[in-house]
Structure 1
Amino acid sequence: MSLGPPMSREGAEYALRARSDERDRISGDLLDLEAHTTYQLLKGASLRGPTQTRWAAAQGALATLWALYDTYRGVLRTAEQVKGPRGRLGAEQLATLTELLSGRSVVLKAAAKPVEERSLLPQADERLTLDETVTRMDAAFQLATDVLTEIDTVWSAALPRLDAADAELRVVSDLQRQLGETLDLTQAEAELKRMRAAVLEDPLGSAPPDHELARVTGALASTRADLEQALRVSQEYGRRREELAAALDRVRAAESDARVAHGTVVAKIALPPQAQPRSKVDALAGELDALDASTGTWLDRSGRLTALEQGVEQAAQQAGATAKALLGLIGRRNELRGLLGACQAMAVRKGLAEDPDATGLYERARLLLWSAPCDLTKAAQAVDLYQRAIHGGGR
């Protein structure tokens, strides 16, 4: 194929400068590729599945790219030598530069084939122009970087989370040793190893470990929280034990108040048997003694101590609420007495004070309210009937 007339001196010098700049840019891109973290990891990685297949294809493309690049640089070195330092280029030099910079000056040697694919006929080398060479190199570069990007995306999403899970596992193991606990962490460790191996060896063919990883990390986080709580309990047990003993004294006092309130009220208000306050303090004190004598692990004692603290608090609140509710019954009786008096005054104003029906309802309510013990349910119904009668059957 004819290249046409040789380049002019200015055209040859311009083309050579442009190609030199292009070579430097390509060299920088290739160095960046080789320095890429994912590329470095893949160079020594043991891959499998779709990732192995695609990375093998990318490596083949990169091998071709480097072969082309070496030849490409060789052509440019030859062109720079032809130009040399001389100020003027002769016709012969310009023809040579034209052939190198515009002709098919890049020779890509025929690749060696497996014996079953060979022919006894000579294999023709491929000749390319510099533009065709750059296009061919760019296609190989894009193929490799596309694979790198896909792998890097998977690794960037999964590996930091796996690292965090491994760190959580180490923390749990350290806490376990500190407390002398015996926890079986082998399953979590095995699952994390399996997920990491899948992500590292076949990131393009393995499903993202999101669900499994969330389950394992959630379980580890829960175990860590329990162990940290147990560690705090081991360090705070003496203080919290003293606080529990003081809280039990408050429960005793609150239950005593409830019993006194019951004794006061039961003489005035009719109470069902279940209204008798029931003490919990002895059972709670027994649990504290058992906890003191326990030889169990701090993980077990932590849960028992927290439950006991909650039980003591609830017992104190319940005893206080019981006393308040009992004393409130007397207040309710007094409230009904006041309401009955107000209804009687209204009956006088309405001229119903001598009405036999109204008087009968009043006397029944009064008798219930001034009896001891007073049946509050029946008394409230009687006051309501009297109030309805005074209002003419309605409120």
Structure 2
Amino acid sequence: MSREGAEYALRARADERDRISGDLLDLESHTTYQLLKGAALDGMTRQRWTAVQAALARLWLLNDAYRAVLREAEQVRAVRAKPGAEQLDELTRLLSGPSVVLRAAAKPVEQRSLLPEADERLTLDETVARMDGAFREVTSALNDIDAVWNAVLPRLDDADRALRELRDLERELGESAGLDAQESQLRRMRAALLSDPLGAGVGPDLGGVARALAEARAEVDQAIVVKREYARRREDLVAALDRVRAAESEARLAHGAVVVKIALPPQARPRSRVEELTGELDALDASADTWVVRARRLAAVESEAAKAADRARATAKALYGLVGRRDELRGRLGACQAMAVRKGMAEDPAATACFERARSLLWTAPCDLTEAAAAVETYQRAIHGGKP
């Protein structure tokens, strides 16, 4: 190695040493590394961390031997301002040859032989390559653990925050929402995630807890609203039941008015739900249920009251619509009779018989709409040349 080559190689190795030292310091200060170094690990993570510690031991051993060779080379270079042939030979040996000596490690007695264990010799490049392999093994484990923590810990924090908010709402409500199981599950998940992030697998279970907390939050929010507004909503519900009563009365009146004109089946008689809903409201007033349960029951009665009123109004409209359908058929029959006159079929015996049957059905009370519609259709076909 020439003087210039030796100077260049020594400077390059010094820069390399400084860069490696910086990387090792960064590793030492890495947050995840610091957490794991003092943690009580378990399962897959403990197995992985045991391998990491072995890699770290190799890394520091290699680094110490590497730095020792560089110190020796710097001492050789410092002997003279301009190194002579003897110094250049020594620098060449140190910087380019197998100058890094790794002492043979002591083995357990069952792995020994009576022959001496040979030390291993490496060049600086080989030493750096081995250090890089050990370094990558460590950082790979840190990255894998980081990936799990970065993905799951924020979700776990969100679930914990949701649970704390629910606990505050429980105090406002003055009753429990039954969250002890979720709280215990979250504690177990956090402990598992910190002790064994690579084997905990808490993601799916955490999703179930988060959904349960969201459902509980919706119920508690509704219960608080009900507690605050129960008196007003009860008054509104009483008014809604009055509307149900009025709508059902209208449906009964419609049935009474229509049944004398149109033949109706027994199931067409309107059924009342107002008494049943009033009873449910009275039971709700006397209930000792929690506000969460009362909120569900109140919402159910409100919904059923709205449906009952709509159903009664629809029934009344449908009943009156049957009279309209009869009148429509009467008008259609008259139009068909006029057409028969224009076509010269007013005296046709078959058409006349069809007309009389349809007219009799439509002007008989109560009218059978099904038979009347069929009779009008038959008459219409008869005047158009079809068979009656």
TM norm structure 2: 0.88
**RMSD, aligned CA:** 2.8
Offset at residue 365 of structure 1 (A): 1.9
Offset at residue 64 of structure 1 (A): 1.9
TM norm structure 1: 0.87
Offset at residue 134 of structure 1 (A): 1.1
Deviations 1:176-210 (A, max 9, x none): 34323334434333444444444433344x37334
Deviations 1:98-136 (A, max 9, x none): 343234433334434445556787655444332222122
> Residues 85, 250 of structure 1: CA spacing in aligned structure 2 closer, same or farther, 3 A cutoff?
farther
8 Å CA contact 2:177, 2:292 repeated in 1: no
CA distance in 2, matches of 1:76, 1:239: 86
Offset at residue 62 of structure 1 (A): 0.9
284-293 or 115-124, larger mean C-alpha shift: 115-124
Q: Could you tell me which residue of structure 2 aligns to residue 134 of structure 1?
A: 128
| Residue 92 of structure 2 is aligned to residue 98 of structure 1 | yes
Q: Could you tell me which residue of structure 2 aligns to residue 4 of structure 1?
A: none
8 Å CA contact 1:61, 1:141 repeated in 2: yes
Q: Could you tell me which residue of structure 1 aligns to residue 208 of structure 2?
A: 215
8 Å CA contact 1:230, 1:298 repeated in 2: yes
CA distance in 2, matches of 1:112, 1:164: 51
| Residue 70 of structure 2 is aligned to residue 76 of structure 1 | yes
110-119 or 345-354, larger mean C-alpha shift: 110-119
| Residue 349 of structure 2 is aligned to residue 349 of structure 1 | no
| Residue 174 of structure 2 is aligned to residue 176 of structure 1 | no
Q: Could you tell me which residue of structure 1 aligns to residue 153 of structure 2?
A: 159
8 Å CA contact 1:158, 1:208 repeated in 2: no
* Seq. identity, %: 68
Alignment of 1:331-346 (within 5 A): 331-346=324-339
Offset at residue 322 of structure 1 (A): 1.2
8 Å CA contact 1:180, 1:297 repeated in 2: no
Alignment of 1:365-384 (within 5 A): 365-384=358-377
Q: Could you tell me which residue of structure 2 aligns to residue 303 of structure 1?
A: 296
CA distance in 1, matches of 2:108, 2:183: 45
Q: Could you tell me which residue of structure 2 aligns to residue 44 of structure 1?
A: 38
Alignment of 1:198-347 (within 5 A): 198-204=192-198, 206=199, 208-347=201-340
Amino acid at match of 2:300: A
CA distance in 2, matches of 1:91, 1:180: 91
Q: Could you tell me which residue of structure 1 aligns to residue 102 of structure 2?
A: 108
8 Å CA contact 1:16, 1:101 repeated in 2: yes
Offset at residue 256 of structure 1 (A): 2.7
CA distance in 1, matches of 2:315, 2:225: 34
Uncovered stretches (5+) of structure 1, i.e. residues with no partner: 1-6
CA distance in 1, matches of 2:243, 2:249: 10
CA distance in 1, matches of 2:354, 2:255: 30
Residue 107 of structure 1 aligns to a residue in which SS?
strand
CA distance in 2, matches of 1:85, 1:230: 87
CA distance in 2, matches of 1:375, 1:57: 91
Residue 382 of structure 1 aligns to a residue in which SS?
helix
> Residues 345, 170 of structure 1: CA spacing in aligned structure 2 closer, same or farther, 3 A cutoff?
same
Amino acid at match of 1:67: L
8 Å CA contact 1:51, 1:201 repeated in 2: yes
> Residues 189, 144 of structure 1: CA spacing in aligned structure 2 closer, same or farther, 3 A cutoff?
same
Uncovered stretches (5+) of structure 2, i.e. residues with no partner: none
